[in-house]
Amino acid sequence: MSEKMRAFVMHGIGKVGFMEKPVPEPGPTGAIVKTTQALVCTSDTHTVGGAIGERHDLTLGHEAVGVVAKLGREVQGIKEGDRVAVNAITPCYTCMNCLRGYPSQCQESLGGWKFANTKDGVFAPYFHVNNAAANLAPIPEAVSDAMAVYTADMMSTGFIAAEHANIPIGGTVAIFAQGPVGLMATAGARLLGAGLVIAVENVPRRQELARHFGADEVINFETQDAVQAIMDLTHGAGVDAAIEALGSQSTFENCVKVTRPGGTISNVGYHGHGEYVKIPRLAWGVGMSDQSIRTALCPGGKERMQRLLRLLETGRVDPTPLTTHTFAFDDLETAFHMMATKADGMIKPLIGFDASGVV
Ligand SMILES: [Zn+2]
Ligand SMILES: [Zn+2]
């Protein structure tokens, strides 16, 4: 392929737009995927805001599905023409951190995150996937692309928040913030057998979706003291687990305050500001409360993607109510700016691709 295509890029901090790029080549172990559907993520807007430093003409986007257009000669277990899902995180599965069982930390802290960080992302008619045999998962026939695209980040990140929370069957969990990741954490907590799911959120549409995805109680932190309300709902005991799905000092603190001794605080929020995240000393039992604090970056890989796709195939969960807006690829810039401010109640904008981006 020596064709050119239009890609949606970060020109530099605060600057986005379309530019022409060559259609990539797979290399021996990679694949080229022809994009069909993608989602804009709040972390794309953090990146353009400068959260991970300067980037020059880097293609944005890390949530997409498509069809295998070209495969490297060494790639086995997948064929050209297959519909495939790809996680936002694409580890190498050969380095020491991957072999230790922490592929999201491939080679270095957060190193599994390559799309729109250390390589071109998915906001283009074609994108390159490294280590394709381990990172591509075929999409079952019964699952649409518009549904499967949620496995890339929202489901994987939301569900790991619930998995790391160690919720005992019938146990109690509080989930702080009901953005798309928090909503999927709510769905994950229900799937894992939580007996009482308490969501903390102030936006009415998100409160409704929290109930839809499995919250038994929704606390509006603007009209109620969230910590007190959670302590009251658990008769003063605190929850077995608290999930931080926002990335702010105050919600992290509240997670520690509402978690019972021996319980788990599971953080998936992106703490984008300040030098430190502080732990409230007394709620932490002055360092001796037996509480655990877990962290995670969106787990990827074919095996996990197949399990997430199975949940869609069997109807255990349907993430598509998160899609509040749809756009053509040509209108991605509008979607991107709306996502930055969550204009018009945006939760996730779905981007549809056709051949128009190939020039
Ligand atoms: Zn994302
Ligand atoms: Zn690795």
| pLDDT tens sequence across 83-96 | 999 999 999 999 99
Residues of the chain below pLDDT 70: 1-2, 355-359
Q: How far is the CA of 98 from the centre of ligand 2 (A)?
A: 4
The pTM of this model reads: 0.97
Please answer whether residues 191 and 173 qualify as being in contact, where contact means their C-beta atoms are separated by less than 8 angstroms. Answer: no
**Cβ atoms within 10 A of the Cβ of 81, count?**
10
Q: How far is the CA of 102 from the centre of ligand 2 (A)?
A: 8
SS3 breakdown of the chain: % helix, strand, coil, rounded to 5? 30, 25, 40
Q: Counting ligands in written order, which one lies closest to the CA of residue 179? A: 1
What length is written for the chain? 359
Q: Counting ligands in written order, which one lies closest to the CA of residue 150? A: 1
Q: How far is the CA of 301 from the centre of ligand 1 (A)?
A: 15
**Cβ atoms within 10 A of the Cβ of 149, count?**
30
The secondary structure of residue 50, as a DSSP letter, is T
Query: What's the pLDDT at 359?
Result: 55
Q: Can you say whether the dihedral through the CA atoms of 172, 175, 181, 184 is positive or negative?
A: positive
Query: What's the pLDDT at 229?
Result: 98
